[in-house]
Amino acid sequence: MKEPSILDYLKSRLNPWQKEKIEIPRETPGPENQNQGGVGDVVQVSTQGEDGVREITIKLRLPVNVPWRTFLALVLALIAQRTLEPPVDSIPMAVGLYVFAVFFLGWATFINEFALPALPESETQTDPQFFHRNLLISSIFLALAAFILFTNNLFNWLNVSLWLASLALFTRGLWLSDPEKPAFIQKLVDFFKQDPWQVSITRWAVLLVAITALILFFRFYRLDGIPGEPFSDHAEKLLDVYDITMGQTHIFFPNNTGREFIQFYWTALLAWLLGTGLTFISLKIGTVLIGLFTLPYIYLLGKEVGGKRVALFAFFLAGISYWLNTISRIGLRFPLYPAFAAPTLYYLIRGLRRQNRNDFILSGLFLGLGLHGYSPFRFVPFVVVLAVGLYLLHRPAVGKRKQTLVMFSILVLASFLVFLPLLRYAIENPEMFSYRALTRLTGEEQPLPAPAWQIFMSNSFNAMTMFNYDDGEIWVHSIPHRPALDVVGGVLFVFGFLFLILRYLRKRDWLDLFLVLAVPMLLMPSILSLAFPGENPSLNRTGAAAVVVFVIAGMALDGLYVGLRGVKGVTQRRGLATGAVIVLLTISTFQNYNLVFNDFSTQFLKGAWNTSDIGRVIRSFVAAGNSPDNAYVVPFPYWVDTRLAGIQAGYPTTDFALWRDDLWKTQSLAGSKLFIVKEEDQDTLKVLHDLYPSGMLGHFTNPLEGKNFWIFTVPENQTVNP
């Protein structure tokens, strides 16, 4: 049999479709090379000459214990990504460095010096096709009754009870119990019955607790001051929460182009439990807690696709990230997108791999809940269909396609039942339900600035480069025109994303392809802003992509760790790998700290109006014994939302606005009066001086430029000009 040549070997390695792979046998290290720091590769080459076949053995000793390719790739990529930090020095230079970095990492992959963690094997579990018929029939009737009763866009005790009962019966009717596995409550009872109690504390658990503590610090530190000021959207949200306290229990809140209900009921509950009331901090605490809910599922998803180490890396990178930190702190619905996308994807991927019906049920329940959270989540059903479709087209689905379709139907039905209240509203009010999406996707509000396909392609490119180059221009939840990821995170994402593509070409695993395609799919709510391309990219409408992005980054970091560690059992190399990971994560931590607590905080205060200062002035006025009804803020174009002055002063339902033309109406009021006027509004000051010659003018100064305002007070025994 003819031995393979070097050319045959190279063709085997570079051609992912070639069925027969030629492997280089490793030479067993003998006494003569045990201390050389490397193991040589032996390549046997057969050549055909005039005088017969000659077998030539070539020994190539590659320094596999010196991972210089992986290390060089990492250094070059870090320099490249640092070049893309604002102000950007040179995009061509950054691209060139990235090309060289990918080349060296590809070389490292070629010789097995670098590799992404292996994907888990699919399981061949057979569904028993068992369900509780009576429970499912009851569930359908209760759901139908609830749907009929979801009228007038209102929840009430009856329709909510029927809806929840329907969900409970549906879940119980299809849930598969394992008789050999005790329930959680039983395990808890058994634990307390033990004498003595035995709790094992592992190093992994200590590490996980330490990282969790760091993440909690990032999410709650200076929450009262970052972001420092609310803006108009916060006024709308708090007024919607107020409506709930007044008994207006909406399914869909139509104010401000319409909003789904979860945040408002969640904020109302927290405001009541914590006693924080209708305040900016109530909104921020609520969204930070929602953001934290995302992280355990990022951990579980990382564990599902790459193991415990990938899970820990993804958990760490996501927890400290500037991206997820800012959209969680802002006090709006933004973190609801990743919060429900993460469990939906986790249970879906686990369900497809294990062919477990319970996972499909859970994925469907979270899919339905997400549709009640934040409108960009409406694209997640397409991502679910993509995952199932890719699975069905690949080898693991052989013999399980019918079963998969049945369980996918269960997922769809579960999500449909959860979505039921909003479905009723959408049928009754289709224009309001779809208004926000249509104004971005079509020319309903303003004409498209270019052909739709051109905007789509441009938006797609801008969105896919946001991780490493430009995250957009929306200052209220991001630092404009900088990468969405820090330097380390950006490098890890590029490495992981590219090598997932490469691994798919070599191994054809559906999960690799899904992780790659899920990123642009989850960016679609931002990409499809065709009428307002300036709103793309945005960190809020792309939030669910962060779930996959940080898992991919965690996989790349694990690959770097393994590549730098090298041959198992070499102590010095394990220390090198661990040290490199610690250095990278430390750099990431400090940069994200600076981005959130310095850069974002400062630029946000520069952009937001200082309504907290106005609120303090009004509170001081009232604390001096004056009536809040005698305090006014005179509106001025592009100045403060006067409703926020009431929120900041402790009167969340009071709008302190009084227009200049109506100032004369205050002359008949008894008691002292307070007027707050924008610094440039000299016309209003003239009117006030004419009305109240004895009024006193004060000047409130703020360290930030453009934030000063006038304080005009009128004593109780004022002199009034007729």
Does residue 251 have a pLDDT over 90? yes
Does residue 269 have a pLDDT over 60? yes
Residue 447 lies in a domain: yes
Question: Domain check: are 578 and 623 in the same one?
Answer: no
Residue 501 lies in a domain: yes
Residue 76 lies in a domain: yes
719: confidence class by pLDDT, cuts 50, 70, 90 = low
SS (H, E, C) 326-351: HHHHCCCCCCHHHHHHHHHHHHHHHH
pLDDT tens column, 671-715 = 999 999 999 999 999 999 999 998 999 999 999 999 999 999 999
Residue 130 lies in a domain: no
Question: Domain check: are 527 and 632 in the same one?
Answer: no
Residue 365 lies in a domain: yes
Stretch 10-34: mean pLDDT: 46
Does residue 9 have a pLDDT over 60? no
Least confident of 114-128, 271-285, 445-459, 553-567: 114-128
Residue 174 lies in a domain: no
| Number of independent structural domains in the chain | 4
Does residue 201 have a pLDDT over 90? no
State how far Cα 127 lies from the chain centre.
33
Return d(Cα 498, Cα 661) in angstroms, integer.
63
**Contacting residues for 205 by C-beta, under 8 A, at least 6 apart:** none
State how far Cα 639 lies from the chain centre.
31
Radius of gyration for the alpha carbons in the chain, expressed in angstroms and rounded: 31
Residue 253 lies in a domain: yes
- What pLDDT score was predicted for residue 490? 97
Question: Domain check: are 97 and 58 in the same one?
Answer: no
Tokens 């060089």 found at: 72
Stretch 97-120: mean pLDDT: 88
Does residue 662 have a pLDDT over 70? yes
- What pLDDT score was predicted for residue 191? 67
pLDDT tens column, 398-452 = 989 999 999 999 999 999 999 999 999 999 999 889 888 888 888 888 899 999 9
Question: Domain check: are 632 and 563 in the same one?
Answer: no
Mean pLDDT of the chain: 88
Burial of 51 (0-12, 13-18, 19+ CB in 10 A): exposed
Residue 102 lies in a domain: yes
Question: Domain check: are 482 and 573 in the same one?
Answer: yes
Phi and psi dihedrals of 20, rounded to 5?
Answer: -90, 120
Look at residues 606, 625, 656 and tell me which one is the last residue of a structural domain.
606
Question: Domain check: are 575 and 696 in the same one?
Answer: no
Does residue 62 have a pLDDT over 90? no
| Cis peptide upstream of residue 196 (ω within 30 degrees of 0) | yes
Quick one: what percent of the chain has pLDDT higher than 70?
Answer: 88
17: confidence class by pLDDT, cuts 50, 70, 90 = very low
The more confident residue out of 47 and 68 is 68
Question: Domain check: are 370 and 475 in the same one?
Answer: yes
Does residue 498 have a pLDDT over 90? yes
Question: Domain check: are 391 and 317 in the same one?
Answer: yes
49: confidence class by pLDDT, cuts 50, 70, 90 = very low
pLDDT tens column, 580-597 = 999 999 999 999 999 999
pLDDT tens column, 621-630 = 999 999 999 9
The more confident residue out of 571 and 621 is 621
Question: Domain check: are 314 and 403 in the same one?
Answer: yes
Instruction: Give whichever of 3-12, 312-321, 446-455 has the largest mean pLDDT.
Output: 312-321
Return d(Cα 555, Cα 309) in angstroms, integer.
9
Joined tokens for residue 42: 């032996």
Least confident of 60-69, 256-265, 295-304, 398-407: 60-69
Question: Domain check: are 33 and 94 in the same one?
Answer: no
- 52-62 and 39-49 strand pairing: antiparallel
- What pLDDT score was predicted for residue 56? 42
Does residue 197 have a pLDDT over 80? no
Contact 337, 577 (CB under 8 A): no
- What pLDDT score was predicted for residue 195? 67
Range of the domain at 666: 611-714
Least confident of 161-165, 266-270, 446-450, 543-547: 446-450
Least confident of 118-122, 150-154, 211-215, 439-443: 118-122
Question: Domain check: are 22 and 87 in the same one?
Answer: no
22: confidence class by pLDDT, cuts 50, 70, 90 = low
CA-to-CA separations, 712 to 29, 59, 628, 677, in angstroms, rounded: 88, 90, 15, 8
**Contacting residues for 363 by C-beta, under 8 A, at least 6 apart:** 343, 344, 345, 346, 347, 348, 351, 384, 411, 414
Within a 10 A sphere around the Cβ of 60, how many other Cβ atoms? Answer: 10
Stretch 454-458: mean pLDDT: 96
pLDDT tens column, 328-349 = 999 999 999 999 999 999 999 9
Question: Domain check: are 371 and 340 in the same one?
Answer: yes
